[in-house]
């Protein structure tokens, strides 16, 4: 499976936008980019996924580089509830195996 | 509130005990999963069931025995566990399509402690 690289930790101020980067230089043409997050004492939560085009949903936006070797999860206005570990995961067409990396621990500063 | 319900939330058992973890979903999902998560580590996949059949076993020791009695229910039977098996056990489900990987919905897990 293609691997992803994320910073171990990031901090952001409350009510500011947050940009969480993910590098995936060995991504294949059929790999989807998925983001999950895990809040303290909870199971992981799906955030967003995409293939080539940028994606928006009620939780976040996903910006995918033109060469698909990197992507950025954007939280438009961070709240304290967004403090979590964010995982960027590549999933191939038809593959149901989520392989979590170490993720980015996001701290929100009040 | 999660749509995947796991019981019990906490379980303490001895190494000779037999216990079961239960997971339930009523979203009509046809794929269900068991993950194991050690403290401060990411979740690791253990088993995948697709249409009630075991499709993936990630070389999990036989002291863990999964069962999928119907499309809404997933069990994990535990027997003769070791202290290193103490972890958070997470269940997830997804609307398996066999094409684009669908988002997985996770429960909040069962925290298992082996004495």
Q: Say which of A43, A91, A98 has its CB closest to residue B45.
A: A98
Query: What is the β-pairing status of strands A84-92 and A31-38?
Result: antiparallel
Residues present in chain B in total: 115
Say how many CA atoms lie within 13 Å of B6 toward its Cβ.
27
Tokens 């085009």 -> residue: A53
pLDDT tens digits, residue range B68-112? 999 999 999 999 999 999 999 999 999 876 666 788 999 999 999
pLDDT beyond 80 at A82: yes
Chain B residues within an 8 Å CB radius of A85 = 42
pLDDT tens digits, residue range A16-50? 999 999 999 999 888 899 999 999 989 999 999 99
A70: left (phi over 0), alpha (psi -120 to 50) or beta: beta
Q: Say which of A42, A44, A91 has its CB closest to residue B101.
A: A91
Question: Edge-to-edge, what's the strand order for the sheet holding B73-79?
Answer: B4-7, B18-25, B73-79, B64-70
Contact predicate B38/B90, CB 8 Å: no
């Amino acid at each position: 499976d293609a691997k992803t690289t994320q910073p171990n930790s990031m901090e952001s101020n409350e009510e500011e936008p947050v940009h969480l980067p993910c590098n995936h230089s060995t991504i294949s043409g059929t790999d989807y980019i998925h983001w999950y997050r895990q809040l303290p004492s909870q199971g992981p939560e799906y955030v967003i996924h995409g293939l080539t085009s940028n994606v928006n949903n009620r939780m976040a936006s996903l910006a995918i580089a033109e060469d698909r070797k990197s992507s950025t999860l954007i939280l438009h206005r961070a709240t304290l509830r967004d403090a979590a570990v964010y995982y960027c995961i590549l999933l191939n067409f038809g593959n149901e195996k989520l392989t979590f990396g170490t993720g980015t621990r996001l701290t929100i500063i009040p | 509130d999660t749509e995947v319900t796991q019981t019990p939330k906490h379980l303490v058992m001895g190494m000779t005990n037999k216990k079961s973890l239960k997971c339930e979903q009523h979203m009509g999902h046809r794929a269900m999963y068991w993950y194991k998560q050690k403290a401060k580590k990411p979740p690791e996949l253990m088993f995948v069931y697709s249409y009630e059949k075991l499709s993936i076993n990630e070389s999990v020791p036989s002291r863990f025995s999964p069962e999928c009695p119907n499309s809404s229910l997933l069990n994990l039977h535990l027997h003769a566990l070791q202290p290193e098996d103490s972890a958070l056990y997470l269940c997830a489900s997804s609307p398996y399509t066999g094409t684009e990987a669908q988002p997985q919905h996770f429960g909040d897990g069962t925290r298992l402690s082996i004495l």
